[in-house]
Amino acid sequence: MTQTTNSTPSVSGSDPSVMIRLEGLTKRFPGQKVNAVDELTMDIHEGEIVVLVGPSGCGKTTTMKMINRIIEPSSGRIILKGQDVTTTNADDLRRRIGYVIQQVGLFPHMTIGQNIATVPRLIGWSAERVRNRVDELMTMVNMDPDEYRDRYPKQLSGGQQQRIGVARALGGDPSVMLMDEPFGAIDPITRDRLQNEFLRLQSEVRKTIVFVTHDIDEAIKMGDRIAILQEGSRIAQYDTPEQILTAPANDFVKDFIGSGASLKRLNLSRVSEIELSTWPTVTNEDSHERAHELLAASDHSAVLVLDDEGRPVRWAGADDLRRGSGKRLDQVGSVPQAVIEPRATLSDALNELVTARYAVTVVVDERGRYQGVVDIDQINETIRSMRSSAVAEARTEFASEGADPAQGSS
């Protein structure tokens, strides 16, 4: 894509991997007593999706619109690819930056093809090149060019319009995209699909993207890096989703991500990916003595009884064994409820185990045979290792970027 180690006049001391640098960026709207954006300084690295997220009115949109100067900053600087663009020609700047808004804003009097061709034509591409570009972009966003090229925006569904909005923003192959709640007005199912499509698209085009949302789930899903903003666009934490979830910098971040967030993180790992714990087991052929022995030798309060096939059939505690003395082991105790397969997520496992009798979830293979158990320690362990791998990842990233390792991991 774009060359970062080039010889364009650059601001002294700039890091070549930084695509956008905001320096002390401030906006005070006329007649307001406080700054809508107050002395914001942040670096946005090339090829990353940076999500600005925060409560309503904290200044996300204002911040984003200052990058393409739809809103002119009151003070501070915007540096794009090492070049100070705070006071250069705004229209030229905007042609280099794709812009997608929640209301999409397609031009209703133009066809889809004409909409997408807007910037390529503005920057003077040949008719041939523009035509090819339109088809290429429509294909990229999963819209058949031959079917939709000559339609008008009103003949498209909301989701299709937003796809075209994205295609149009990519028109002139900008290196930077600004997206303000692009999927905010779309129903949850379509939104999920558009998000996935967009992530796939981004893996191909590798743009530098500033993405605004007020939805932490969307931020976690979309962001390579998330900036959690407080009133006045003050950065509460600017970090990878893993770091933010596993090591929130302060109470504001903790409150903002809410308790559900770490559970969502658990949704990303499957039971098959972790090492299962063991639990004392007996077969239905074994004697009560054997069960008692096992119980005495372990610090668990029950044994798991397996049938001939190795499938868990009973939990048998010491009391159960006493009460059911003389009965076969598969006749005593209680039937295990919390049983899951390896494909289940850790979040499923956690859900099961909090209600389970012995605070573990039994894992069985697809034929129902006992594999091991998941307990709360393992879930904790997984969260811990997510945290340390996030730290390690962040470190190597910073090291490879040659940046100050202290920066960013606040």
Give the footprint of Mg ion on this chain (CB under 5 A): 61
d(CA 27, CA 61): 12
DSSP 320-373: HHHHTTTS-GGGSSB----EE-TTSBHHHHHHHHHHSTTSEEEEE-TTS-EEEE
State the minimum distance, in angstroms, from the CB of residue 159 to Mg ion.
21
Binding positions for another protein, 171-210, rule CB under 8 A: 171, 178
Among ligand ATP, another protein, Mg ion, none, partner that 57 touches (CB below 5 to 8 angstroms by kind):
ligand ATP
Comparison of 165 and 248: residue with beta carbon closer to another protein: 165
Candidates 25, 79, 85, 97: give the one binding another protein (CB under 8 A).
97
Comparison of 149 and 225: residue with beta carbon closer to ligand ATP: 225
State the minimum distance, in angstroms, from the CB of residue 164 to another protein.
11
Q: How far is CA 409 from the centre of its chain?
A: 18
For Mg ion, the nearest residue by Cβ is 61
State the minimum distance, in angstroms, from the CB of residue 215 to ligand ATP.
10
Token couple for 361: 């979830």
- Helices 112-122, 127-140: axis angle to 10 degrees equals 130
d(CA 389, CA 314): 38
The residue ranges of DSSP E strands in 182-280, in sequence order, are 208-213, 225-230, 234-239
Among ligand ATP, another protein, Mg ion, none, partner that 56 touches (CB below 5 to 8 angstroms by kind):
ligand ATP
Among ligand ATP, another protein, Mg ion, none, partner that 182 touches (CB below 5 to 8 angstroms by kind):
none
Residue that the structure tokens 């709360």 belong to = 376
Token couple for 240: 């990878």
Residue that the structure tokens 């006045």 belong to = 232
Listed ranges 6-14, 114-122, 327-335, 382-390: which one lies at the site for another protein (CB under 8 A): 114-122
User: Are the C-beta atoms of 328 and 335 separated by less than 8 Å?
Assistant: no
State the minimum distance, in angstroms, from the CB of residue 52 to ligand ATP.
8
216 binds another protein (CB under 8 A): no
Comparison of 62 and 240: residue with beta carbon closer to ligand ATP: 62
Q: Tell me 82's DSSP state.
A: T
State the minimum distance, in angstroms, from the CB of residue 61 to Mg ion.
3
Comparison of 53 and 106: residue with beta carbon closer to another protein: 106
State the minimum distance, in angstroms, from the CB of residue 20 to ligand ATP.
17
Binding positions for another protein, 56-95, rule CB under 8 A: 68, 70, 91-95
Q: How many CB atoms lie within 10 A of CB 328?
A: 14
User: Where on the chain is the footprint of ligand ATP (CB under 6 A)?
Assistant: 29, 32, 36, 56-62, 214
Contact residues for 170 (Cβ-Cβ < 8 A; gap 6+): 98, 137, 140, 177, 205, 207
Among another protein, ligand ATP, Mg ion, none, partner that 32 touches (CB below 5 to 8 angstroms by kind):
ligand ATP
* Phi/psi of residue 353, nearest 5 degrees: -75, -25
* Phi/psi of residue 11, nearest 5 degrees: -70, 135
d(CA 81, CA 233): 22
State the minimum distance, in angstroms, from the CB of residue 217 to another protein.
25
- 3-class secondary-structure state, position 181: coil
Query: How many residues lie near another protein (CB under 8 A)?
Result: 31
d(CA 253, CA 169): 32
State the minimum distance, in angstroms, from the CB of residue 86 to ligand ATP.
19
Interface residues with another protein (CB under 8 A) are 68, 70, 91-97, 99, 101, 103-111, 118-119, 122, 152-154, 165, 168-169, 171, 178
